[in-house]
Amino acid sequence: MSEKQVTVEPVETNEAVEKAKDFWAKFSKPIIYIGSAVILIIGGWYGYKNFIKDPNEAKAADLIFPAEQLFDKMAQQGGFNKDSINLVLNGGNGITTGVLKVISSYGGTAAGNRAHFIAGACYLHNKDFNNAIKHLKDFTSSATQVQTAAYSMLGDANAELKKNDEAFDYYKKAIAVNSKDEFMTAEALYKAGLFAETIGKSTEAIEFFKRIKEEFPKSSHASEVDKYLARLGVLN
């Protein structure tokens, strides 16, 4: 059946507040964005020893490895807590070097780059949003799933600081990294759609939800976007 746009009355203030609460209830837990696909990419970083040529790269990779292992374990098990995060960031209790030391001493290496991602995720989970933004902005990756996750986290951190324009821009960047990725791009579209609706960008929210249906019909969110579209006045 063809879609038709239905004009709806403006949302009442109380309803808008409830929408915002619903959005933050779903996305205020920062580590949601580290899904299984991203964890696999992080795990793939451990193949570094086969490709190291420069002595600084080798040293940095050896130093970060224990902290990286703990971060990977936390991500897989969902066991993020302040003590574990502190170990990853600062070292201690069997972890000789935390990722912050790797950044300060070997910031120009591949390990230093990964350390920015890990530090950003840890700070975001600890609700230290400014430090999360600082480190995630210094991270870059050619691995599209990891870069999508980084942009999405930047969106989360800015959203928590009520920097809506910056947050929305980063959510759109997350979508644009790899338009074909079944998991990460669908997740980015879903999050961007909910956020767009929350801040009153209904046209953009409709576009994002429609893209999930049309481009990623097998994604986990495809079956539920109709209710969001209906809420925005789009009925089948």
pLDDT tens by residue, 155-176: 999 998 989 999 999 999 999 9
**Which pLDDT band, with edges at 50, 70 and 90, does 2 fall under?**
very low
Do 176 and 188 meet the contact criterion of CB atoms below 8 Å apart?
A: no
CATH number for the domain running over 1-33+164-236: 1.25.40.10
pLDDT tens per residue across span 53-99: 578 888 998 999 999 888 888 887 777 789 999 999 999 888 889 99
The CATH 1.25.40.10 portion of the chain extends over 1-33+164-236
Cα–Cα distances (Å) from 120 to 127, 194, 228, in that order, read 10, 23, 31
Mean pLDDT across the chain, nearest whole number? 81
Q: Determine the Cα–Cα distance for residues 200 and 22; give it in Å rounded to an integer.
A: 14
φ, ψ for residue 95 (rounded to 5)?
-105, 105
Tokens in use for 230?
A: 């209906």
**Which pLDDT band, with edges at 50, 70 and 90, does 184 fall under?**
confident
In this structure, of 13-27, 43-57, 60-74, 174-188, the range with the lowest mean pLDDT score is 13-27
Specify the pLDDT at position 174: 94
φ, ψ for residue 180 (rounded to 5)?
-105, -5
Strand partners for 95: 92
Q: What is the mean pLDDT of residues 2-16?
A: 42
Strands 234-235 and 4-5, sheet pairing: antiparallel
Helix-then-strand count for the chain, H and E: 12, 2
Cα–Cα distances (Å) from 42 to 21, 135, 170, 206, 225, in that order, read 32, 17, 21, 33, 30
Specify the pLDDT at position 93: 85
**Which pLDDT band, with edges at 50, 70 and 90, does 26 fall under?**
low
